[in-house]
Amino acid sequence: MKKVVSMAALLAVLTGCMTNQDSGVYGSESMSEESLAGGTPSLNDSYLMAAAPKYYIGNAYKVDDVQYIPSEDLTYNQTGIAGIIPEELNGQKTTNGEMFDMSQMVATSKTLPLPTIAKVTNLDNGQYVIVRVNNRGPFVNTRIMDLSPAAAQKIGMNSQAKVQVQVLTEQSLAVKNATIGTNAVTEVEKTTETMTVEPAPQVAPAPAQQPQPAPVATGDYTIQLAAFYAEDSADSMAARMKTYGDAVVVNEGGMYKVRIINLDAARARSLINALRTNEGMAPGLLKAGRWVNPDSI
């Protein structure tokens, strides 16, 4: 009986965090795979590293009498109590315009920019998970973060637990740049206005580095350039990437992925080098539908 009462109390606390002083319902103010090297994500983690509908920081706000000031903090490294986002919020819009997917490795934060990539370690057992922070919350002063049910399960959390939250600088900057560069709008809102960011002018690659259009060919290799929530953004990039080869948009896992297909090993190697040099990209590589190291060919 005591266990039943305890769980009921926990549900009441979690439900209480759905009131958001920033924007309404639990912050209304999604990682397909973890990488191999110690769980640190790379640009191949399409869900984790995807551009968001907007980049959001927000104004200072209070929970009870405690003030929180959202800001960019790439050195963020804090310990505290984490909880679990209620499953009934699955499918609701997050603060930065994404949809909360309880099966993905996502989390909330009171102050971190949205989206931010962070490592969360359960200090009770040492297990950790890499999450995409894409929502404000929790709106109680006793917790610093709430995790999706999937992320909580990954680190052995059945209820609240003491965790360490560390921002991953490189990945956080990459997802920020992908969001601002793709959508050309960032909702920093420090002055309660939307700031438009002009896209950088396109500079034609030097003739010596410009790859020749790929001939019609078949091959086992596919280069993934980016993944978007917005189909028009993916279409726009695919049209620009036609210079490099057979660029297509693939609708997969609820996202629009821009890929160059039908490549043999030599052509894939050449294009990866050209994309890194000319476009500043970090493309992913698939062989027969499976992720491989882009530097392995």
Rounded CA-CA distance 123/162 in Å is 6
Give the pLDDT of residue 41. 55
- 264 burial (CB, 10 Å; 0-12 / 13-18 / 19+) is middle
Least confident of 87-101, 118-132, 181-195, 215-229: 181-195
Sign of the four-CA dihedral 44, 227, 280, 246: positive
Top pLDDT among 46 and 221 is at 221
Nearest one of 139, 151, 145, 142 to 18, comparing CA atoms? 139
Q: Are 172 and 55 in contact (CB under 8 A)?
A: no
Alpha-carbon distance of 123 to 25, in angstroms, equals 29
For 138-171, how does the pLDDT look when each residue is reduced to its tens digit (9 = 90+)? 998 999 999 999 999 999 999 899 999 999 999 9
Can you point out the beta strands (E) in 85-220? 106-109, 116-122, 128-136, 145-147, 161-167, 185-187, 195-196
Query: What was the pLDDT predicted at 136?
Result: 94
- Report residue 136 CA to chain centroid gap: 15
Over residues 239-297, the pLDDT tens digits come to 888 889 999 999 987 778 889 999 999 999 999 888 888 876 778 888 988 888 878 88
Work out the average pLDDT over 22-48: 44
DSSP 3-state percent helix, strand, coil across the chain (nearest 5): 25, 30, 45
Contact between 41 and 47 under an 8 Å Cβ cutoff? The reply is no
Whole-angstrom Cα distance, residue 53 to residue 98? 7
CA–CA separation, 38 and 214 (whole Å): 36
Residue whose token pair is 């080869």: 245
pLDDT tens per residue, range 99-133: 999 999 999 999 999 999 999 999 999 999 999 99
Of the pLDDT bands very low, low, confident and very high (cuts 50, 70, 90), residue 236 is confident
Beta strands 284-287; 221-228: pairing state: antiparallel
Domains (ranges, CATH) in the chain?
A: 22-187 (2.40.40.10), 221-296 (3.30.70.1070)
For residue 32, pLDDT beyond 90 = no
